[in-house]
Structure 1
Amino acid sequence: MKLISIYLLVLCVVGANELLVVAASGNDGGGGRFVYSGFAGANLTLDGTATVTPAGLLELTNGTLQLKGHAFHPTPLRFGFGSGGGGGGDGVVVRSFSASFVFGILSAYPDMSAHGIVFLVSPTTDFSAALASQYLGLVNVTSNGDARNRIFAVELDTLQQDEFRDINDNHVGVDINGLVSLQSTSAGYYAADINGGGFRNLTLISHEAMRVWVDYDAGDARIDVTLAPLAVAKPVRPLISAAYNLSSVITDTAYVGFSSATGSFNSRHYVLGWSFAVDGGPAPAIDVAKLPKLPREGPKARSKFLEIFLPIASAAVVLAMGILVILLVRRRKRYTELREDWEVEFGPHRFPYKDLHHATQGFESKCLLGVGGFGRVYKGVLPNSNVEIAVKRVSHDSSQGVKEFVAEVVSLGRLQHCNLVRLLGYCRRKGELMLVYEYMSNGSLDKYLHGQDNKPTLSWAQRFQIIKDIASGLLYLHEECDKVVIHRDIKASNVLLDNEMNARLGDFGLARLYDHGEDPQSTHVVGTIGYLAPELGRTSKATPLTDVFAFGTFILEVTCGRRPIYHDSHGTQVMLVDWVLDHWHKQSLVDTVDLKLHGEFDVGEACLVLKLGLLCSHPFINARPDMRRVMQYLKREVALPELMPTSMSFHMLALMQNDGFDSYVQSYPSSNSKGNISTATSSLLEEG
């Protein structure tokens, strides 16, 4: 009898343990609930940079740039009432569920970060095809918004991306199958007090732990998202309340977890605790007392001994070394900068010269990327953040409108588009201005087109995508940002390729901007011969359509693999536009495609871009399309109009000579490049 009692007791203990395991894994008859008050010893599914620290923090990113990390509860949960594996289209109704988690974002800079955290429900844990940076490790260029993703997500985003229609750089959004939010709002919470409460702003990169609640009510088809500081109880009023039936999105069984990514700035993303429940009321309570602490930012607290000893030791050192320090400072003012009162408003966009000096190893020749008409460009790595940058040193006269120029540089630095090289900021010394850009690892396009530095030949697919990338960037500059931006120097050497061979338009040193609807004013001609529109010789006024002309020449250069002005086998100077036009007249347009492709190209696409290049570089300004129409032609949403031989019969070289460009055309040099920037000093016009 005693043995039977012991046997029954063992069975009860084993059975209870099995029930606990089942409930925690989410396979308890179709439901699921779990709670992590810290992650020490947790069995999570991790990939990328995600890891669990010894202190029990779930670290999604570790500060390494341009990487992503994911973490998921190890077993899928059953969200549907149905028995199949499909979503709403299979007749499965998604049940109510609730999630709660505590997070923290640490950035190397107090006022900027590199993207945020996404809580998601997904049918898979495989996000290997997703991109980092602005895509948050969730989707990529082609999959963003695809209904086949079957993803529900809540984003805590710390960087504004116009391509995703973000409202600001500190917002919470509800996302369905991509990063264009169904509904979003600035981060904060609605406090309850004796005065009736009110909205309190929160900063996602405040280095403080915060808590998020995500609740889905299946009966009302409503998604509520609530945010609050860790020390504040769940507010009664949610931050976001969005009406959406998730039965059309979430599959019968799905995984829950987190995704995060870094971009060009040093940031780290953490989850401290997490709970979840399907069809079982609110998510289980997280034991806040057991949560691990966020890593300490800043110096550690000093002991009383150090507080007394250090001032005495410092005073002794100052007295002993004072004279020597003064002499050294007078002998070598290596880091002297030029600062004026009006620059205070541009503070976040100004880089200390010391940082740029160290980043470029003192502007050593081994860091030199190229020499252009307006200065030298150096590669550098910023101290502390390890961000790779390109620094352009430009000479300037401090008395000639430098305040207005810096104001425009800062305005251009706010432009954000996936096909523009971002202008990060500037630094000023006496007689010298430094422009700081993000670094493009694959260099400038002209080296691939013209066989410099033994670069490989670009395929036709790559060339066609590059043309579409730059067209997209120009459309953003001309029509989609707050002000109209005229680049004024579109050419192959100013098109840079990132590590995935995506094309980005760079070098905004000559760009000018004005309000939509205003008439652009200009007092001098700026640009590169071969890309200059004929009307510039008469009016000196740059417009979006002068950019279109340069883009047309750029299209022909990419397709034909020839420079805008070149010498034929007889030594005669030839305009590329004229040469293509002549072949078009002879009905041999395909013969102009770069011979290095060995005939491996799409004839239809090649004819489309060649004709579009001729149309964009039309000598008459009113005959050129704007960039929105150009994008429609490239996407084949609108048929390209038939070109009329009589209207297109012109000799561009003669036309430019008649318009006052003769002396520049005759002295046009061949491109001499090094590294990422490829120009020659005399290839740039600056005529007062």
Structure 2
Amino acid sequence: MPRLLLLLLPLLLPLFPHPISSNPFPITPRFDPNLNIAGDAKLATPGSFVHLTDPSKSSRSSGLLFQRAPFKFLGPKPRSFSTDFTFSIPPRNSDGIALIIVPKDFPSRLSGESFGLSRENRFFGVEFDAMVNENVGDENDNHVGIDVGSLVSLKISNISSIKLKLSSGVKLHSWVDYDSSSKRLEVRLCKFGGARPFDPLLAYQVDLGEMWKGEEVLMGLSSSSGASLEATSVYSWSVRARRVPTWLHSQPVDPFKVSNEHTREHKMVISNRPCLVALLSGLIFAVGFGALVAFAALFFRAIFASEKEAEIQPKCILYPGEFRYEKVNVVVDDNTVNAKN
């Protein structure tokens, strides 16, 4: 009987909850100070990163890194958040890594399989899946998916489309942003050291406030693996919460309406471009026409000025001379002629 129990022990261990570490998390700029670990997760010496799985175990391994302080999505002001983390996934026998939002008592129920979620039916997850699981309809071993209460992803995006491989052992950087006013969640991914991508790898409409209402929840990073020579590791993680004013918050939106609004805004941007061209063309025409009018005004002004100067010049009035011709009779006195002789 004892020998039988020893043989069954590796199979039974994943069924038991994992302990939560009571060790304080070290203060480091790469991690938020308000963190804790559960399951097989452990701090690597000297605390510069966290191993979520334990490669020394012969059975399956799972671990969780989570925020100590629970929070609510609904309250006086709806909650939005932005989080980013860097991680690496070993080449073999790793399920990958998942950003999860779970009830606050979840760490005590962490299981040994499926990102530690095999016994949980109330969760929201963004999975970076590095292993094909036909039971949940995985299409490949290199995708990011949205999970709500089930590991059957509601929406997936192929990471090969951005020329990355999850299970390469290379350090990757992800950003996940949720806006409570638009009910939109966006996921971005790139190689560590690269710039944050402008376009999201995956976008999904979800109302987390409607899903969790006023319940207190935790946010965490979880992973699970089989017998692996390397651990799934997290090198940095930060979470920034944002509160949206109540007057900006709307009750569950129609995803198609949001999509139509984005399409309409895009069309407005495109339709405004011809208006800008027409405005510039009109401005150029107005400047040219104004210059032409000014030139014509100066030209006619010069002509009128020259005519006026000509009118001012004194005029010489010439009248024809009057001459009178008279006949002159010359009388020669005979005495005078004789005297000369």
1:77-98 Cα offsets, whole Å, 9 max, x none, are 343225xxxxxxxxxx842211
- 8 Å Cα contact 1:66-1:261 kept in structure 2: yes
Q: Which residue of 2 aligns with 1:158?
A: 130
Q: 1:270 to 1:177 in 2, by over 3 A?
A: same
Counterparts of residues 161-200 of structure 1 (less than 5 Å): 161-187=133-159, 199-200=161-162
Between the aligned partners of 1:78 and 1:53, the Cα distance in structure 2 is 31
Residue 118 of structure 2 corresponds to which residue in structure 1?
Answer: 139
Alignment counterpart, residue 49 of structure 2, candidates 43, 54, 57: 57
1:203-352 aligned within 5 A: 203-252=165-214, 253-279=216-242
**For the residues of structure 2 that align with 1:234 and 1:280, how far apart are their CA atoms?**
23
Q: Which residue of 2 aligns with 1:46?
A: 37
Residue pair 2:187, 2:202 contacting (<8 A) in 1 also: yes
Aligned-partner Cα distance in 1 for 2:89–2:28: 19
Q: CA deviation at 1:128?
A: 4.3
Secondary structure of 2:53's counterpart equals: strand
| CA distance in 2: counterparts of 1:121 and 1:209, whole angstroms | 23
Q: Name the structure 1 match of 2:60.
A: 66
Secondary structure at the aligned position of 1:169 is classed as coil
Tell me the alpha carbon deviations over residues 373-406 of structure 1, each in whole angstroms, 9 at most, x when there is no partner. xxxxxxxxxxxxxxxxxxxxxxxxxxxxxxxxxx
Partner SS, residue 268 of structure 1: coil
Q: Deviations over 1:281-332 (max 9, x none)?
A: 9xxxxxxxxxxxxxxxxxxxxxxxxxxxxxxxxxxxxxxxxxxxxxxxxxxx
Partner of 2:100: 120
Cα RMSD after superposing both structures: 2.4
Aligned-pair distance for 1:164?
1.0
Q: Matched residues in 2 for 1:212 and 1:95: separation? A: 20
- Map 1:84-103 to 2 at 5 A: 94-103=78-87
Cα offset for 1:137?
Answer: 0.6
Q: Distance in 2 between matches of 1:94 and 1:180?
A: 28
2:200 counterpart letter in structure 1: P
Cα displacement string for residues 356-385 of structure 1 (whole angstroms, at most 9, x for unaligned residues): xxxxxxxxxxxxxxxxxxxxxxxxxxxxxx
> Which 5+ residue runs of structure 2 have no aligned equivalent?
1-26, 245-341
Q: Does residue 105 of the first structure (1) align with residue 96 of the second (2)?
A: no
Does the alignment pair 1:80 with 2:52?
Answer: no
2:79/2:243 contact within 8 Å kept: no
CA contact under 8 A between 2:88 and 2:171: conserved in structure 1? yes
Rounded Cα–Cα distance in structure 2 between residues aligned with 1:271 and 1:226: 17
Q: Distance in 1 between matches of 2:34 and 2:82?
A: 21
* 1:101 aligned partner, one-letter code: F
The structure-2 alpha-carbon separation of the partners of 1:164 and 1:37, relative to structure 1 and needing over 3 Å to count, comes to: farther
Structure 1 unaligned spans of 5+: 1-34, 83-92, 189-198, 282-688
Change (3 A) 1:122 1:229: same
Cα gap change, 1:268/1:117 in structure 2, threshold over 3 Å: closer, same or farther?
Answer: same
One-letter amino acid matched to 1:49? D
1:122 counterpart letter in structure 2: V
Name the residue aligned to 1:37: 29
1:444-465 residue CA offsets vs partner (Å, 9 max, x unmatched): xxxxxxxxxxxxxxxxxxxxxx
1:43 Cα offset (Å): 5.3
Q: Secondary structure at the match of 2:193?
A: coil
SS at match of 2:156: strand
Q: In the alignment, residue 205 of structure 1 is paired with which amino acid?
A: S
Q: 1:125 to 1:202 in 2, by over 3 A?
A: farther
Structure 1 residue 264 displacement after superposition: 4.2
Q: Aligned partners of 1:96, 1:102: CA distance in 2, in Å?
A: 21
User: Any idea what SS the aligned residue of 1:136 has?
Assistant: helix
- CA offset at residue 136 of structure 1? 1.6
User: Contact (CA 8 Å) 2:54, 2:62: kept in 1 or not?
Assistant: no
Q: Partners in 2 of 1:79 and 1:246 — Cα distance?
A: 7
- Distance in 2 (CA, whole Å) between partners of 1:42 and 1:218 is 25
Structure 2 CA distance for aligned equivalents of residues 162 and 127 of structure 1: 27
Residues 79 and 95, structure 1, Cα contact 8 Å, conserved in 2:
yes
1:155 deviates by: 0.7
Do the aligned partners of 2:66 and 2:220 also contact (CA within 8 Å) in 1? yes
Q: Relative to structure 1, is the Cα distance of residues 209 and 78 closer, same or farther in structure 2, using a 3 angstrom cutoff? A: same
Structure 2: how far apart are the matches of 1:38 and 1:96? Answer: 22
Determine the C-alpha separation between the residues in 1 that align with 2:117 and 2:93: 18
| TM-score, structure 2 normalization | 0.57
Per-residue CA shift, 1:585-632, capped at 9, x if unaligned? xxxxxxxxxxxxxxxxxxxxxxxxxxxxxxxxxxxxxxxxxxxxxxxx
How far 1:218 moved relative to its partner?
A: 1.5
- Cα distance 1:217–1:114, how it changes in 2: closer, same or farther (>3 A)? same
The whole-number CA distance in structure 1 between the counterparts of 2:51 and 2:195 is 25
- Structure 1's 227 and 62: CA in aligned 2 closer, same or farther, altered over 3 A? same
* Counterpart AA for 2:80: S
Is the Cα–Cα contact under 8 Å of residues 152 and 250 in structure 1 kept in the other structure?
no
Answering whether residue 201 of structure 2 is matched by residue 201 of structure 1, we say no
Aligned residues between the structures:
214
The answer to which structure, 1 or 2, has the higher relative contact order (CA under 8 A, 6+ apart) is 2
Deviation by residue 1:110-141 (Cα, 9 ceiling, x = unmatched): xx3321111112222434444323x221233x
Q: Per-residue deviation at 1:224?
A: 0.6
CA–CA separation in structure 1 for the residues paired with 2:99 and 2:213: 16
Give distance in 2, aligned partners of 1:36 and 1:245: 33
| Equivalent residues of 1:127, 1:138 under 8 A apart | no
1:635-675, Cα deviation, whole Å (9 max, x unpaired): xxxxxxxxxxxxxxxxxxxxxxxxxxxxxxxxxxxxxxxxx
Deviations 1:152-174 (A, max 9, x none): 21111110111111120111111
TM-score by length of 1: 0.29
Equivalent pairs: percent with the same residue?
A: 29
Given that 2:78 and 2:243 are in contact with CA atoms closer than 8 Å, whether structure 1 keeps it comes out as: no
1:98 is matched by which residue type in structure 2?
A: S
Contact 1:66 1:264 in 2 (8 A): yes
| Cα pair 1:114 1:266 within 8 Å, conserved | no
Cα drift, residue 232 of structure 1 = 1.2
Cα pair distance change 1:57/1:251, threshold 3 Å: farther
Rg comparison, structure with higher value: 2
**1:114 aligned partner, one-letter code:** S
Secondary structure of 1:248's aligned partner: helix
Q: Are the aligned partners of 1:66 and 1:262 in contact in 2 as well (CA < 8 Å)? A: yes
Provide the C-alpha distance between the structure 2 equivalents of 1:263 and 1:178, rounded to a whole number of angstroms.
Answer: 21
- Residue 36 (structure 1) shift: 6.0
**Distance change (3 Å), C-alpha of 1:36 and 1:119:** farther
- Note the 1:585-596 alignment, pairs <5 A: none
Matched residue SS, 1:205: helix
Q: Relative to structure 1, is the Cα distance of residues 200 and 266 closer, same or farther in structure 2, using a 3 angstrom cutoff?
A: same
